[in-house]
Chains A and B, each alone.
Chain A
Amino acid sequence: MYAPVEWLRDLVQVDPAATGAEIAAHLVRVGLEEEDLHGGDVVGPLVVGRVLERTPEEQKNGKTINWCQVDVGDANGTGEPQGIVCGAHNFEPGDLVAVILPGGVLGGDFTITARKTYGHLSAGMICSARELGLGDDHDGIIVLTDWFAGQEDALAQLTPGTDLIPLMGLDEETVEVNVTPDRGYCFSMRGIAREYALSTGVPFTDPGAADARPVAAANDGGHAVRLSDGAPIDGRDGCDRYVARIVRGVDVNAASPTWMQSRLTASGMRPISLAVDVTNYVMLLLGQPLHAFDLDRLNGAIEVRRARAGETLTTLDDVQRTLHPEDLLITDNGETVLAIAGVMGGESSEVTETTTNVLIEAAHFDPTTVARSARRHRLATEASKRFERGVDPAVTAVAAQLAVDLLVEHGGGTVDDGVTDVGTPAHPVPFAFDTTLPTRLVGLEYPRAEVVATLEAVGCTVTDSDPTGNEVTVLPATWRPDLVDGPDLVEEVARVRGYDEIPSAVPQHQGHGLTHGQLVRRAASTTLAQHGLTEVLSYPFIGEELFDRLGYTADDERRRTVRLANPLQDEAPLMRTSLLDTLLDTLRRNVSRGARDVALFEAGLVTRGDNPTAAPTPRLNGRPDDATLDAILDSVPAQPNHIAFAAAGEVVSAGVGVIPRAYDTYDVIGWSREVGRVLGAELTVTAATLAPWHPGRCARIALPDGTLVGYAGELHPKVVAALDLPARTVVGELDLDVLTAATGAPTQARLLSTYPAANTDIALVVDESVPAAEVEAAVRSGAGGDLESLALFDIYRGDQVGEGRKSLAYRLTFRSSEKTLKTSQVTALRDDAVAAAKKATGATLRG
């Protein structure tokens, strides 16, 4: 909303010295958001000039320019005529024009200098409306006698050399503010002025008050209007007040007065014609959108009703729109559709150049109805914007009166005596209010008198229903549909006093700190980062064909996810089911940006499963019943916390004192186990076959009880190719929720034995197909409780063990907690271990 300061001064006593910035600050203080400051950026000398000579000169490029001699009085310091080149042609010698002289500055910091152009020294510029920021018109320059037509005061001052900056309002600023959805009334100068008055305490006279101007009383002689809403939304009639006024014999093509044009321009609207300008002007002043119909194009009564299936309307923007049964329509006698109520009119009844009789509509439409229509037809108009947020149902007749008065004043004609005003708008409902509530809710003392005074200043009617207690009855203002209960009024009291006065007090509470799950997630990420991985974030959106490229089978559970109705990109409508889905993309991006060796990780939620049953969305009315609430909560798909990692290239690159090594499967398995280890979970590793991993290089990572935690290994070469990743990319992904559930019990310490340790080495020969983990498990079980540690230090394959077999060399460290082990005892334990391995895996001791 644009608030021209000049207009504001007309409505409320703005301090004459106040700058636009100060005015904006006052408005911000009570809740309007400052968007921008406009105007005040043209710097003189900008003066009246009289064209003495105009010599057209044709140029080589075919363009004709005018070499002009302009009398600018003494403004140029010499009194001599000023030579200026001008490209416009809409003026003659003798005309009065707006001249900016060298040294002047136009908007956008454009400083005027005397410069050589088209063979002349042009010392200044004759300005158009656009160059002065006064409108879009740049077809020609401003001829001041036209510009100020009808304004005798201004015309009398038009002598060469007169300063035009104040005369044209160029010293006036416009404050642009953002209006929050609860303050629909601030989409009017009436509302802005009231807020300014509230903020500064200056008196305010409401231009929308019932007694602001004489308003003709309603009678039966007006144009017939029928309100026949057969399908109100939420029980509210689509239209609960409709005022129709008629002006006959008006010259709709007359120019609207300059003051009105400049206010419209300053408000960001283009002056068009009297009929359009007046409706816009009244809307900007009072917040009441108006519609002007060509009366002679109406055949019968105006009927306001909902649309019927199949009805269409070609709106003023020349788009044919198929109407929806929820759309509220203005119709001619119930038949021809004239407009979508409160949104936009149609072409068939529009006021044109030939219109002489005008019907002015001022109505009050249901916010929800208008909001839905505007949304449905993607038509956010000045009218719909206001109706959506609630228009004052008490200002309707005043607005219509002002419109017809302005039409007659500037376009002639007469106002019909017949005045239509039908419908019964809902009135605000009074409610009880405890005047101590502001103090209790804000934490700052607000005396009762202040509370009452503020509410009255806001426009509420306060009745002292309980003179001995704290309770009053508050009837909200008709333009404040947002004031419905106590806290709404508290905000009024608090903002008028000023939020700056609210003290600062820290509430005291004892909490439990981070949960185990939160600590687990932090520890997992920290561990990976400490192992040289870099955390990244990726968008969780994927396309279905990714699952094919990852090699998922048709019935893979990981294909089940939710699909977005309006994805960012049509090719990525699904939510990822693994972090790797998108982490691999990030890996590729890093490689394509020149990173050869990359190790990444990401922690976050993945979606598992879709929503087979729709979640209920009951209208807000307290807590839903348990069944509904359960249905809501249960409809949300599972979203476990995962952590995933991916690496390609070398762990370390060749360099001084460094042996290079590529990332391999054992790195990702190692990271997986390390994440488990820091959380106190000894994770087990078994061979697995699962897309997208290499079938021979995939580890299933599990809890000791077998519960799946995740997978790690090298990507399948086909996946590497399909996703355009570096060869031998290794990846893993773990479910941190599983790890969270499995950990958290305090780790119990073992007593440390101080008896000496005894080492012994064994080499066990097994079939190639026997996993090392099985051999190790057997050795451990056979070696018994005195086995302190076991390390696989070599794997040998070759002639000495035979084809298809391998030799696993282990170092066993024994230590008893009770005694020093003798050599014979260690040998016996070792033999037990070998025997257990032989039994479990067929291992033989290598001689």
Chain B
Amino acid sequence: MSGPNTSYDPVEVAALEPEAIEQAVTAALAAVAAAASLEELKSLRGAHQGDKSPLALANREIGALPPSAKAEAGKRVGQARGRVASAFTARQGELEVERDNRILVEEALDVTVPVTRRRSGARHPISLVTQRVEDIFVAMGWEIAEGPEVEAEWLNFDALNLGQDHPARQMQDTFFVEPEGSGLVLRTHTSPVQIRTMLREDPPIYVLCPGKVFRTDDLDATHTPVFHQFEGLVVDEGITMAHLKGSLDAFVSRLFGEGIVTRLRPSYFPFTEPSAEIDCQCWICGGTNPSCRTCGGTGWIEVGGCGMVNRRVLAAAGITDEKYTGFAFGLGIERSLMLRHGVGDMHDIVEGDVRFSAQFGMEI
């Protein structure tokens, strides 16, 4: 014959029988400890804490006891119920923590799954290099000047001491605007912006003139008929070639790396005198690699032209006071981009293929 199922069946426990009380408590604690889930724990509550649970019945019996026995029985049953209740609470807490932990595990995502909810944009690297160059000069106290691309021939050539018969003014280089004698061209350099600045402002002038320029070259791996330049112009009292060299050195060290300097070679430009070609130290090999692809092993890379502004040019822009001298230089953005970022083919820069810009993102 089997005994009662203490978990479910109401078992009368006499309030005055300590053994019976203890037995009910033991049974309850064992059942609570064995509960594997919050649901199971909840289902045990009726049997051990409910109205028909042994301890509740025992409690009910206390009222019928003689007064002399009431106090002791009450204390005994009360303690027993307290032990069972705290066992339930403790187990409830344990099981809740287990459940919460399980849910976090179950909710785990594979964060390596690639999910793209927004297309990524990018700036064109020509713009990014231009901005970087601008920022370098702005940090040196210069300002940025701009001007039109369809430009007056006088500003593009004559004012720069490039007379009617100068070879640079010939058909093979310049886009002319119809009709003949319109006096307009597509600017071949950003120098007209220098002239416009000097016409507008009195010295001291410290400006960088970045922008799009045009030459009638065919597009190939290293040439494009539409390209970008930045020219610098400083006109102030006591400006020397040493200031020119210093500004260029400061610039290349910020764009290409600390310690990189320039080298000047005598040259000729109608708008400057004296004039120089600008070579930049090879920042890849520093001249130590005879087969360097960037500098051809010479340690130097030709990057532009410069010089002291020709007095005729200053005069054209209304600066006649001889206390003012100035320097100017011009470098190519495309060339800087190609050299700094290893762009191998000009086509990639000009064709507008999104894959090209996408490589660079927003910062260069």
B343 at the interface (CB under 8 A from A): no
Q: Name which residue of chain B comes closest to A444, CB basis.
A: B242
Query: A560-572: contact bitstring with B at CB < 8 Å (1 yes, 0 no)?
Result: 0011111110000
Complex interface: stretch among B34-42, B98-106, B154-162: B154-162
Binary contact track B260-272/A, C-beta < 8 Å → 1, others 0: 0101111110100
Please state if A564 and B178 are interface contacts (CB–CB under 8 Å). yes
**With contacts A30-B266, A562-B177, A614-B182 known, is A443 near B119, CB below 8 A?**
no
Docked-complex contact B154 and A615, CB < 8 angstroms: yes
Contact partner of A502 among B142, B146, B245, B362, CB < 8 A?
B245
Bound: A319/B90 CA distance, A: 112
Q: Residues of B contacting A586 with CB < 8 Å?
A: 351-352
**Smallest CB–CB gap between B113 and chain A, Å?**
5
Q: A487-B311, A526-B362, A539-B225 are in contact. Are A618 and B158 (CB under 8 A)?
A: yes
Task: Give A491's nearest chain B residue, CB to CB.
Answer: B274
Q: Which residue of B lies closest to A601 (CB)?
A: B121
A149 within 8 A of B: no
The answer to whether B354 and A598 touch across the interface, beta carbons within 8 angstroms, is yes
Residue A599 is within 8 A (CB to CB) of chain B in the complex: yes
Interface status of B280 (Cβ within 8 A of chain A): no
Residues of chain B contacted by A440 (CB below 8 angstroms): 238, 240, 325
| A238 vs chain B, min Cβ distance (A) | 14
Among the listed stretches A202-210, A449-457, A619-627, A788-796, which one makes contact with chain B, having 4 or more residues with CB under 8 Å of it?
A: A619-627
Taking CB atoms and an 8 Å cut-off, the chain B residues in 118-169 that contact chain A are 118-124, 126-127, 131, 134, 138, 140-144, 146, 148-155, 157-159, 161, 163-167
- Encoded as 1 (CB less than 8 Å from any A CB) or 0, chain B from 20 to 50 comes to 0000000000000000000000000000000
- Return chain B residues, CB-CB under 8 Å to A487: 273-274, 308, 310-311
- Contact stretch, chosen from A69-77, A99-107, A508-516, A678-686: A508-516
> In this assembly, does A838 line the interface, its C-beta being within 8 Å of a C-beta of chain B?
no
The answer to whether A510 and B141 touch across the interface, beta carbons within 8 angstroms, is yes
Q: Which residue of B lies closest to A634 (CB)?
A: B152
Query: A562, B126: Cβ atoms under 8 Å?
Result: no
Q: Tell me the minimal C-beta distance from B234 to chain A in angstroms.
A: 6
| CB nearest to A633 among chain B residues | B152
**Which residues on the A side are within 8 Å of B242 (C-beta)?**
442-444, 502-505
Q: Flag if B119 contacts A532 (CB, 8 Å).
A: yes
Q: Which residue of A lies closest to B270 (CB)?
A: A181
Out of A536, A589, A629, A636, name the residue touching B357 (CB < 8 Å). Answer: A536
- Asked if A375 and B148 sit within 8 Å, CB to CB, the answer is no
Given the complex of chains A and B, what is the CA–CA distance between A637 and B185 in angstroms? 11
B352 touches A590 (CB 8 A): yes
Residues of B within 8 A of A597 (CB): 119
Assuming the A-B contacts A537-B126, A635-B184, are A658 and B117 also in contact, with contact meaning beta carbons closer than 8 angstroms in the complex? yes
Q: In the complex, A499→B268 CA distance in Å?
A: 14
Q: B86 interface residue, CB < 8 Å from A?
A: no
Interface range on chain B (Cβ under 8 Å from partner): 35 or more
CB contact between A565 and one of B170, B177, B311 (< 8 Å): that residue: B177
B266 touches A491 (CB 8 A): yes
Residues of B within 8 A of A368 (CB): 165
In-complex Cβ contact of B177 among A371, A510, A611, A623 (8 A): A611
Q: What is the minimal beta-carbon distance from B75 to any residue of chain A, in angstroms?
A: 54
Question: Shortest distance in angstroms between B114's beta carbon and chain A's nearest beta carbon?
Answer: 7
Give the A-B pair count, Cβ closer than 8 A: 305
Task: State the Cβ distance, A781 to closest chain B Cβ, in Å.
Answer: 36
Q: Report whether B243 and A652 are in contact in the complex, using a CB–CB cutoff of 8 Å.
A: no
Instruction: Tell me if B182 and A443 are in contact (CB < 8 A).
Output: no
Chain A residue nearest to B207 in the complex (CB): A511
Q: Is the CB–CB distance between B246 and A506 below 8 Å? A: yes
Docked-complex contact B120 and A532, CB < 8 angstroms: yes
How many Å lie between the Cα of A632 and that of B184 in the bound state? 9
Give every chain B residue within 8 A of A388 (Cβ-Cβ): 167
Measured between beta carbons, the chain B residues less than 8 angstroms from A502 are 241-242, 245, 264
B204 at the interface (CB under 8 A from A): yes
Residue of B nearest to A388 (CB): B167
Q: Is the CB of B183 within 8 A of A614?
A: yes
Cβ-neighbour of A442 out of B127, B241, B249, B261 (below 8 A): B241
* A268-327 interface with B by 8 A CB criterion: none
| Interface pair A655/B116, CB less than 8 Å apart | yes
Using known A-B contacts A491-B266, A491-B274, determine if residue A623 contacts B318 with beta carbons closer than 8 Å. yes
Chain B residue nearest to A30 (CB atoms) is: B266
CB distance from B337 to the nearest CB of A (A): 12
Beta-carbon nearest neighbor of A233 in chain B:
B165
A8 interface residue (CB < 8 Å to B): no
Q: Write the chain B residue with the least CB distance to A508.
A: B141
Judging by beta carbons under 8 Å apart, are A635 and B167 in contact?
no
Q: Check B121 against A533 for contact (C-beta < 8 Å).
A: yes
Which residues of B come within 8 Å of A, CB atoms? Answer: 113-124, 126-127, 131, 134, 138, 140-144, 146, 148-155, 157-159, 161, 163-167, 170-171, 175-184, 186, 199, 204, 206, 212, 216, 218, 225-226, 234, 236, 238-243, 245-247, 249-250, 261, 263-268, 270, 273-277, 308, 310-312, 315-318, 320, 325, 349-355, 357-358, 362
19 contacts across the A-B interface (CB closer than 8 A): A31-B266, A442-B240, A442-B274, A443-B243, A509-B142, A513-B138, A514-B144, A528-B121, A529-B121, A536-B354, A539-B226, A563-B178, A586-B352, A590-B354, A595-B355, A622-B320, A633-B152, A635-B184, A655-B116
List the 8 closest A-B pairs by CB distance, nearest first: A615-B183, A443-B242, A443-B240, A31-B266, A491-B274, A180-B268, A536-B352, A586-B352
